[in-house]
Amino acid sequence: MFRYFLYRLAAVIPVLFGVSIAVFVMVRLVPGDPVQLMFTNQPLPSPARLEEIRHQLGLDLPIWKQYLNYLTGVLQGDFGQSIRSRQPVFEEIVQRLPNTLRLTFASLAVAITVGILAGVLSAVYKGRWIDKVSMVVSILGISIPGFWFGLMIMLLFGVRLEWLPVSGATSWKHLVMPAITLGLISSAIIARLTRASMLDALGQDYVRTARAKGLRGSTVVTRHALRNAFIPVVTIIGLQIGGLLSGAFIIETVFAYPGVGQLAVTALQARDFPVIQGIVLMVAAIYVCVNLLADLVYGFLDPRIQYS
Amino acid sequence: MAQATGAASGEKMTLAAFETQRQVRSRSRIIRDRLLANRLGLLGGVIILFLVFVAAIGPLIAPYDPLEMVLSDQFLPPSKEHWLGTDDFGRDILSRLIHGSRQSLMVGVVSVSIGAVIGMTVGLLAGYFGGAFDMVSQRIIDVMLAFPDLLLALAIVAVLGPSLVNVMIAVGIGSIPLYARLIRGQVLSLKQKEYVESAHASGAKAPRIIFVHILPNSLSPLIVVASLGFAGAVLTGAALSFIGMGAQPPSPEWGAMLSSGRSYLRHEWWIATFPGIALAVTAFGFNLLGDGLRDALDPRSLD
């Protein structure tokens, strides 16, 4: 286990390096002078002043030195300064990160509960109406645009019925609609995989043995089949977290939910590159770490995996 | 059938060749029969054909000009004259949806093509030749996969600037890793097959082996992934337009229409509702078709 852990950890470090290079290069690829971009929507200072700022920011150094400076900055929590608000980017992100994490985990809870329940039921009742309905609904779930679904439930539960608040993030009630909207797609994906994986498990010899021993149907399903069917599901859940984190960009905008995603969209519209760069780097880093965690859980759940 | 063709051309056919031909025919027949028997997959195909038809003859059937503003017709609810109502500029929503179908299908076609062509090339070369190219390309793909799909597309659009063409490029680049990994895996396993080894032994050059022996045999998973990817590309493209990074007003792109209808949700619900339904139906069609193709092309149950 420990060797497997070290091996996976070692594989993650070059990826994180690559991510930092990609994010660094990304901003260099933006057409136009980065210093002039800092003065978007403002009068441009004199060329001498521009030169001075360029020097202060180290933009006159060779590119590899610029990257090293950037990397040391990032490792110390210095993500630069927002062009729009003049605040340190790191602080802006950290202020909003708890809201986004709360939303991500709430929608993950929705996705896992609905997805696994629907998947198990359709596998157990394969070919019956419950299977057919839940599989068609799950295809619909991955086809409906989340931002539209969000607007529709907002119209129904927020505007017409007035059961839930339509925007903001001051109480748990604010979390309900965004979490359901965001969890929808993932629950459909998890349901489909759980069904396939359960069908596989239900056909195995050990399940037949368990049934032959006279165990109750529910015990066979939950104790024997589900535990084994769960292994691939864990991996897809890890991958879903990335989808949820980036899906939050759009859904937070729909519900005016003050998270990192909303900040990202505002920054994109204002071409506030330090903020975009910081958010992209942070979300990618979180995503890589979550997948590492999912891999480790996978190894833990399935003792057959050889750690070589 | 096979026998008749063989006899007609007067060729001498060895038993083995005859067997192979018979198998190929029955294989394609199995696939066709399965596709026709899969009602949901068929429904998907019908939806897609309908959409393509609408997009093709759009200007002929659209009742109004999609861009013409008629301020006296602002915010009309669905009626006989305007089946799906009008928007804040008095434009007919049905006509805009019909014209917008071109853009949505275009996003799908262009981005899936970019992703599939580049991904396939990288995957083929990496899988077949291995070595340094494989190493480097796989590490780049590892880094690309570190960004969740939408985030990668967002970052690319941020660099390129907001426009529908840039959205197509961004979504396309974002899907390269998917296709590259898929094809590379296929190539690695096909390379071990006897018929590839025997082609190699009989002196076939790399391009011939790749294009004649390997590529055709790795196409079926690619078709499935591309069909499902089409749905994803249409939705991601619309999402990017929705946040203002894609098609710009007054374009009748569905995501952009949804975005402008958002402000009138309380009273003029139809402005934002119908573009969303159009998007969902499109993605539903491609997902059904992709699922149906997956079942029909599944090699495990073909042999």
Question: For residue A307, what pLDDT band results from cuts at 50, 70 and 90?
Answer: low
Cα B209 vs. chain centroid, distance in angstroms?
A: 27
Does A83 lie at the interface with B, CB-CB under 8 angstroms? no
Mean pLDDT of A153-180: 85
The pLDDT tens digits of the residues spanning A111-155 come to: 999 999 999 899 888 888 988 898 888 889 899 999 999 999 988
- Helices (H), ranges, B243-300: 254-261, 270-297
pLDDT at A273: 84
In whole numbers, what is the pLDDT of chain B averaged over residues? 85
Asked whether the beta carbons of A271 and A40 are under 8 A apart, the reply is yes
pLDDT at B83: 86
Given an 8 Å threshold on Cβ–Cβ distance, is B149 in contact with A243?
yes
Asked whether the beta carbons of B301 and B27 are under 8 A apart, the reply is no
Q: How many CB atoms lie within 10 A of CB B106?
A: 17
Question: For residue B299, what pLDDT band results from cuts at 50, 70 and 90?
Answer: low
Does A22 lie at the interface with B, CB-CB under 8 angstroms? yes
pLDDT at B231: 93
Gap between the Cα atoms of A252 and A238, Å rounded: 21
Residue B86 sits at φ, ψ, to 5 deg, of -125, 165
The pLDDT tens digits of the residues spanning A204-227 come to: 888 888 888 888 878 888 777 887
Chain A interface mutation, best of B136, B154, B293, highest count of A Cβ atoms under 10 Å: B154
What are the distances in angstroms from CA B18 to CA A128, B5, B10, B123?
A: 43, 11, 13, 33
Residue B116 has pLDDT above 90, yes or no: yes
Rg (CA), chain A: 24
Which contiguous run of DSSP H or E holds residue B159?
A: helix B149-160
pLDDT at B107: 94
Does A249 lie at the interface with B, CB-CB under 8 angstroms? yes
For the ranges B95-99, B111-115, B152-156, B296-300, which has the lowest average pLDDT? B296-300
The pLDDT tens digits of the residues spanning B224-264 come to: 889 889 999 999 999 999 998 889 888 899 999 999 888 88
pLDDT at A240: 85
Tokens of residue A116, six digits: 């696994």
**Range 10-29 of B in CB contact (< 8 A) with A:** none
The pLDDT tens digits of the residues spanning A24-62 come to: 888 888 777 777 777 766 777 888 888 888 887 777 788
pLDDT at A207: 83
In whole numbers, what is the pLDDT of chain A averaged over residues? 85
Please state the pTM of the whole predicted model. 0.86
Mean pLDDT of B122-133: 91
Measured between beta carbons, the chain B residues lying within 8 angstroms of A143 are: 231, 235, 280-281, 283-284, 287
Mean pLDDT of B166-176: 94
Distance from CA of B266 to the nearest CA of A (A): 7
pLDDT at A308: 45
Question: For residue B165, what pLDDT band results from cuts at 50, 70 and 90?
Answer: very high
